[in-house]
Structure 1
Amino acid sequence: MPDGHEGSNVLPAEDANARTDQIADAALRLFARYGYKRSSMDDIAKEAGLAKATLYLHFKGKDDVFRAMLDLLGRRVEARCREVVTRPGSFPERLAALLQAHHGLAYASFGTGEHLVELKAVMNTIATRELQAFERIFSSFARELLTQAERDGEINLSRLPASADDWIASLLFASAGAKLGTPPSAADYARRLDAIASVFATALSR
């Protein structure tokens, strides 16, 4: 497949960003299918429909591709979360939608979850900053959702035994815990997230 811009190693910024996202998207599909260790730079290039030399114009190695993949997924999740907090609906409905937009979308992006344990270990090893940024996306929108719901009289934050930040952190832990053990299907995980949202929303209801 032709790469375009023949004879030049320099792409305009927009084209370079699009190419980077193209490679990151291909890597996401590949890592979901085969895991990190079994996916090579050759495999990523083929999945992206690019020459291996083109891949190395944008990335030094597989670790860099992995971090770009997380960044791309984070931007997709952030856009979905933003849609959730701006739509109408009750607090329990929107909280459930936020969990699905963040945790559910990320989980579904990795296919059956067969390689989730390995990928999470890789995240903790080489992509701590990207992983923390990913979690901050949820915390930010959850805080916004709480503020809106309290302003509209739907919830009472004074009912919390701790701070709103502690409530959000517990919500993150519960969502992560729902993946433990045998990896659930995306549909089963979505149902678990709905149940978590129901419990956490009830704790704040007036």
Structure 2
Amino acid sequence: MATDRLTEVLDATYDCLARYGVRRTTMDDIASTMGVSRSAVYQYVNSKDDAFRRLAERLHTEALVQAGQAAAADAPYAERVRGVLDAKLRLVLRLTGDSPHTAELMDAKARLFGDICLGFTTELRGLLTELFTDAETHAGPSDGTATLSPSDAADVCLALVRGLESTPDGARLLPPAADALLAGLLGGAPQIRPAGSDGATVPVG
């Protein structure tokens, strides 16, 4: 029951976010949207900031679950990689499309959400790196044409999605763009260096 009520609080918080943004939303706004008193809202969140942070965590966790399911699917590697990228893109497009304010939950530099955004990207990078590592292992020894490590390939894929996030037609462009990219990374001769041969760092954003 408490979980259901927290879900209602976070749903109301999202509604307020879409209307007012983080800074202008108040606890009274959240309570009014729920049709309860402000003291009732305080039973489930400590403050407005706590409500927004929990909301950001929920949305990023949902997207990460989708990405994990795609990565673990019984499907070709290219399809699994596309599924991971699609989970990130859909989250961003949803938040940027619902309201000018909802995208604030994806702000990697925000005081409240920066670590959540960075953690989300890091987890996605890990999923992609594992996929490329496994794909390289199954592909067999390199024939000398390898150009990218698994983590570099993951970074390239994430860079592709970041570019599509600001493109109005990003959702439509992701499948052909990912297919073109993955044809080079996964198709034909192995294009991935063995894992452990790079010193790449985790990107921010």
Structure 1 99/164 Cα, relative in aligned 2: closer, same or farther at 3 Å?
same
User: What one-letter code is carried by the residue in structure 1 that aligns with 2:21?
Assistant: G
Deviates more, 1:33-42 or 1:88-97: 33-42
Structure 1 30/154 Cα, relative in aligned 2: closer, same or farther at 3 Å?
farther
**CA shift at 1:39, angstroms?**
2.7
CA contact (8 A) 2:128 2:154 kept: yes
Give structure 1 stretches of 5+ with no counterpart. 1-14
After TM superposition, list the pairs within 5 Å mapping 1:1-206 onto structure 2.
Answer: 15-112=1-98, 114-115=100-101, 118-121=104-107, 124-153=110-139, 160-180=146-166, 184=168, 188-204=169-185, 205-206=187-188
Q: For this pair of structures, how many residues does the alignment match?
A: 187
Deviates more, 1:105-114 or 1:69-78: 105-114
The separation in 2 between residues aligned to 1:149 and 1:25, in whole angstroms, is: 40
CA contact (8 A) 1:25 1:72 kept: no
Normalising by structure 2, we get a TM-score of: 0.73
Structure 1 119/83 Cα, relative in aligned 2: closer, same or farther at 3 Å?
closer
**CA shift at 1:69, angstroms?**
0.8
Normalising by structure 1, we get a TM-score of: 0.72
Give structure 2 stretches of 5+ with no counterpart. 189-205
CA RMSD of aligned residues (A): 3.1
Structure 1 106/179 Cα, relative in aligned 2: closer, same or farther at 3 Å?
closer
Structure 1 136/19 Cα, relative in aligned 2: closer, same or farther at 3 Å?
farther
Structure 1 44/189 Cα, relative in aligned 2: closer, same or farther at 3 Å?
farther
Q: Which of the pair has the greater relative contact order for Cα pairs under 8 Å at 6+ separation?
A: 1
